[in-house]
Structure 1
Amino acid sequence: MEQMRKMGINVPQMQDGGLVTKVCISQEMAERDEPPPMEDKASGCQTRNFQRNGSSYSMDIVCDGPQMKGTGRARGTFSGNTSFTSTYDFKGAMHGQPVSQHHETSGKWLSADCGSIKPIGDLMPKK
Structure 2
Amino acid sequence: MHSLRFGLSLSALLFVTIAHAADYNMQPGLWEVTTSSDLLRLVPHIPSGQMQDIEALAKDYGVDMPQIANGAAISKVCITQEMANQKTLPNFYQAQAGCTTQNVNRSGNHYQLAFSCNGADLKGNGSAEGNLTSAQHFTGQSRFSGTLQGNPVNEKADIQAKWLNTSCGDTPPM
TM-score normalised over the length of structure 2 = 0.57
User: How many angstroms apart in 1 are the aligned matches of 2:167 and 2:145?
Assistant: 37
Q: Does 1:85 align with 2:125?
A: no
Q: What is the CA-CA distance between 1:48 and the residue it aligns to?
A: 1.0
Give % identity: 36
1:52 to 87, 95, 106: 106
Q: How do 1:1-127 and structure 2 match up within 5 A? A: 10-15=64-69, 17-37=71-91, 39-40=94-95, 42-120=96-174
User: How many angstroms apart in 1 are the aligned matches of 2:85 and 2:76?
Assistant: 19
Q: What is the CA-CA distance between 1:43 and the residue it aligns to?
A: 2.9
SS at match of 1:118: coil
User: How many angstroms apart in 2 are the aligned matches of 1:28 and 1:10?
Assistant: 22
Asked if 2 retains the 8 angstrom alpha-carbon contact of 1:34 and 1:50, the reply is no
Asked if 2 retains the 8 angstrom alpha-carbon contact of 1:88 and 1:102, the reply is yes
Q: Which has the higher helix share?
A: 2
Listed as ranges, the gaps of 5+ residues in structure 1 are 121-127
Structure with the bigger RCO (C-alpha within 8 Å, sep 6+) is: 2
User: How many angstroms apart in 1 are the aligned matches of 2:104 and 2:170?
Assistant: 30
Q: What is the CA-CA distance between 1:15 and the residue it aligns to?
A: 4.9
User: How many angstroms apart in 1 are the aligned matches of 2:71 and 2:148?
Assistant: 25
User: How many angstroms apart in 2 are the aligned matches of 1:67 and 1:16?
Assistant: 26
Q: What is the CA-CA distance between 1:24 and the residue it aligns to?
A: 1.0
Q: Using a 3 Å threshold, how does the CA distance of structure 1 residues 52 and 22 change in structure 2: closer, same or farther?
A: same
User: How many angstroms apart in 2 are the aligned matches of 1:64 and 1:88?
Assistant: 17
User: How many angstroms apart in 1 are the aligned matches of 2:99 and 2:147?
Assistant: 12
Q: Using a 3 Å threshold, how does the CA distance of structure 1 residues 108 and 13 change in structure 2: closer, same or farther?
A: same
SS at match of 2:171: coil
Q: What is the CA-CA distance between 1:36 and the residue it aligns to?
A: 3.2
